[in-house]
Amino acid sequence: MNSSQAAPTAATPEAVFEEITGMLHAVLGEYGGVVDAGITMDTRFHDDLDLESIDLVTLGGHLQARYGERVNFAEYLAGLGLEEIIDLTVGQLVEHITGCLRAAEER
């Protein structure tokens, strides 16, 4: 048994979605009821949550703290065009994180 798996990473989309939702509540909580309407896989960071660039940086910090080197949010965003960033959904981020976690497990 591998002791490095003491805190297992659930790489299921459902588990990652729940973690991302919690992070978004932490990032946007100071804005009041912005996220109270509910976050779904189709929720867009820009249009639906009004995330600003500083909020994305903060979210990236949460992702780094949770997933470490396995998920590089800044690198992911750098690979997207401006329109793709504007249209980015929670579901797309969940897919990216899930893929990164699975790739890390396969190593």
Residue 8 resides in a domain? no
24/6 Cα distance (integer angstroms): 26
Residue 4 resides in a domain? no
Domain count, the chain: 1
Q: Which domain holds residue 42?
A: 13-106
Residue 44 resides in a domain? yes
Predicted local confidence at residue 107, as pLDDT:
80
Residue 96's closest CA among 22, 4, 27, 17?
17
Residue 6 resides in a domain? no
Residue 3 resides in a domain? no
Q: Give the predicted TM-score (pTM) of the model.
A: 0.84
CATH of the domain at 51: 1.10.1200.10
Residue 1 resides in a domain? no
38/11 Cα distance (integer angstroms): 22
Residue 65 resides in a domain? yes
Work out the pLDDT band at 31, boundaries 50, 70, 90.
low
For the stretch 71-106, pLDDT in tens is 999 999 999 999 999 999 999 999 999 999 999 888
Residue 92 resides in a domain? yes
- Sign (positive or negative) of CA dihedral 71, 72, 75, 76: positive
Residue 107: HSE in the Cβ half-sphere, 13 Å Cα cutoff = 7
